[in-house]
């Protein structure tokens, strides 16, 4: 590690937690964890709400010489969805899941399902073979640090879960060395400096959020945690001069680009997205805040692949930027295809921060081919060297009319319609065969009827969605990705 990890001050829940305060928490909790699980070599799982206490909890668990599992705070998100991975023979019997003491308040503040940490939820965890431990408020807080300085990021690695947007989430084991190497590569590409602050509006329990937490630990600047629905608080925090990067969501960027301002329109110099936005959302945000929305491309398995780190005036909304130094990319049906990257196809990646494998140590499996990881994404490299994503392998479906349709392309065309904001186009099954539908958000001045009329003009007839549903906000998983299954359910309720 070129940078020495440290505790960042954290702004969360209307208050600022100092680095010293968080370190005292982590030191006391580290002792509590070791005593509860029977030694520092025993793996644990940590349930991380988006709170300052979660920063201390992760640091405490990651200071131990044992691998750890990171889970969402809401047990409903991993029971029963993660029941199979958690009861796998590879998981230590009696795995302990650790919760910070403020878990009840943190879960309620983020709009999780009621009763997320009730006796019934804890009973569910135990039914899966897990123990649960809600850490207490340490007495050591009132009398110094309460122990030796904490060894930072000593854990050999972390198990994260894929989003589960289309099926059962998979456990992905990433070594700590690989995680930190990917974090530093992105910090270097974005020219972030020691002391720069980071604002995150995504769950800390998934790849993007954990990467932002590690980034804050490497930079040592302030770490701001946003409530995903409070745009007034977001405007206030984003305007603070200590923040250089905002890890945004497409929906929140859309909201901030058109909501009524309660103060000056100020945003960090780097606003980073991991999902596409329409040209309208991109232009509205840039006009209001004077900074562009930059795309970023990564996955649970590969870590960071590319980022748009160019000059602000050169940022484009329809590319994910250039591949990072150290990462190799090929495009084609196979990694050794002679097909040119400019012709488009499946994306293959070689990276020094690739996952160690699926599963739980020591039983992890990796299905790369001669060192090349086959992503599920399709892309093309433009003449200027920037990578543009064109869809996913599982998003290209053959409809009942016999046409092969790229659903990502359809979503892109819908985003170009005036008044359309966020869009998800997903496959649908029917008695007559496969088809697809669209779930989208619209500006107040655009009616669904108008959008349908414009879609009929802008799309060829074979690319018309079977059904279109307007929602206030696209359903998303805790990691920020679109909840495709929820979109399909919404469409099935209105499809003819």
- pLDDT (tens digit, 0 to 9) for every residue of the chain, 496 residues total? 578 999 999 998 888 999 999 999 999 999 999 999 988 999 999 988 888 999 999 999 999 999 999 987 766 555 444 444 454 545 666 788 888 886 655 444 444 444 444 455 566 566 667 788 888 875 545 444 455 678 999 999 999 988 665 556 788 999 999 999 999 999 999 999 999 999 998 778 888 889 999 999 999 999 999 876 677 888 889 999 999 999 988 878 888 988 888 888 999 999 999 888 888 889 999 999 999 999 999 988 999 999 999 999 999 988 999 999 999 999 988 777 655 555 678 899 999 999 999 888 888 888 778 889 999 888 999 989 999 988 777 777 776 666 778 888 888 888 888 888 888 888 887 666 678 899 998 887 778 888 888 888 888 888 888 889 999 888 877 666 788 888 888 888 775 5
Q: Is 153 left (phi over 0), alpha (psi -120 to 50) or beta?
A: left
Q: Where in the chain do CATH 3.40.50.12780 domains reside?
A: 1-390
In which element (H, E) is residue 216 found? helix 207-219
- Rounded Cα gap, residues 99 and 455, in angstroms: 47
Q: Which CATH number fits domain 1-390: 3.40.1380.20, 3.40.605.10, 3.40.50.10300, 3.40.50.12780?
A: 3.40.50.12780
- Rounded Cα gap, residues 61 and 259, in angstroms: 40
Q: Which CATH number fits domain 399-492: 3.20.20.60, 3.40.50.300, 3.30.300.30, 3.40.190.10?
A: 3.30.300.30
Q: Does residue 134 sit in helix, strand or coil?
A: strand
200 forms beta bridges with 225, 247
Question: Per residue in 20-44, is it b (16+ CB within 10 Å) or e — as a string?
Answer: ebbbbbbbbbbbbbbeebeeeebbb
- Find out whether 23 and 150 touch, Cβ atoms under 8 Å: yes
Enter the tokens of residue 334.
């196979």
Enter the tokens of residue 170.
């998979």
Q: Where in the chain do CATH 3.30.300.30 domains reside?
A: 399-492
Transcribe 173-208 into DSSP letters.
EEEHHHHHHHHHHHHHHTT--TT-EEEE-S-TTSHH
- Rounded Cα gap, residues 159 and 148, in angstroms: 27
Burial of 472 (0-12, 13-18, 19+ CB in 10 A): exposed
């Amino acid at each position: 590690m070129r940078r020495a990890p440290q505790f960042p001050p954290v702004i969360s829940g209307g208050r600022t937690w100092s680095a010293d305060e968080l370190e005292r928490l982590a030191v006391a909790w580290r002792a509590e964890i070791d005593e509860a699980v029977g030694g520092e070599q025993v793996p644990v799982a940590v349930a991380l709400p988006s709170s300052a206490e979660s920063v201390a909890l992760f640091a405490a668990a990651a200071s131990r010489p044992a691998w750890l599992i990171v889970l969402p705070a809401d047990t409903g998100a991993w029971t029963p969805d993660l029941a199979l991975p958690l009861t796998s023979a590879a998981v230590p019997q009696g795995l302990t899941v650790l919760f910070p003491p403020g878990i009840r308040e943190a879960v309620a503040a983020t709009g999780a399902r009621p009763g997320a940490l009730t006796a019934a939820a804890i009973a569910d965890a135990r039914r899966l073979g897990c123990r649960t431990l809600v850490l207490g408020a340490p007495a050591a807080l009132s009398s110094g640090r309460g122990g030796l300085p904490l060894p930072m990021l000593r854990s050999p690695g972390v198990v994260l879960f894929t989003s589960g947007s289309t099926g059962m989430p998979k456990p992905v084991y990433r070594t700590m060395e690989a995680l930190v190497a990917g974090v530093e590569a992105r910090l270097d590409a974005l020219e972030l400096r020691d002391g720069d602050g980071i604002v995150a509006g995504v769950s800390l329990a998934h790849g993007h959020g954990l990467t932002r937490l590690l980034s804050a630990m490497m930079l040592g600047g302030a770490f701001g945690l946003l409530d995903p629905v409070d745009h007034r608080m977001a405007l206030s925090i984003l305007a603070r001069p200590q923040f250089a990067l905002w890890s945004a969501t497409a929906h929140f960027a859309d909201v901030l680009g058109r909501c009524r301002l309660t103060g000056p329109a100020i945003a960090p110099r780097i606003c980073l997205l991991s999902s596409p936005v329409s040209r309208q959302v991109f232009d509205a945000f840039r006009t209001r805040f004077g900074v562009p929305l930059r795309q970023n491309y990564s996955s649970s398995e590969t870590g960071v692949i590319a980022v748009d780190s160019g000059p602000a005036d050169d940022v484009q909304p329809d590319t994910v930027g250039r591949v990072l130094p150290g990462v190799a990319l090929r495009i084609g049906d196979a990694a050794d295809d002679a097909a040119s990257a400019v012709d488009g196809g499946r994306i293959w990646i070689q990276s020094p921060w690739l996952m160690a494998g699926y599963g739980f140590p020591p039983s992890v499996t990796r299905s790369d081919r001669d060192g090349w990881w086959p992503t599920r994404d399709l892309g093309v490299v433009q003449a200027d060297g920037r990578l543009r994503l064109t869809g996913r392998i599982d998003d290209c479906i053959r409809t009942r009319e016999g046409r092969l349709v790229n659903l990502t392309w359809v979503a892109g065309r819908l985003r170009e319609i005036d008044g359309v904001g966020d869009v998800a186009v997903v496959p649908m099954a029917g008695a007559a065969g496969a088809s697809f539908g669209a779930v989208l958000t619209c500006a107040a001045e655009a009616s669904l009827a108008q959008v349908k009329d414009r879609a009929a003009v802008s799309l060829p007839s074979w690319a018309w969605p079977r059904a279109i549903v307007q929602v206030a906000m696209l359903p998303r998983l805790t990691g920020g990705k679109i909840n495709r299954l929820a979109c399909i359910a919404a469409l099935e309720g209105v499809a003819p």
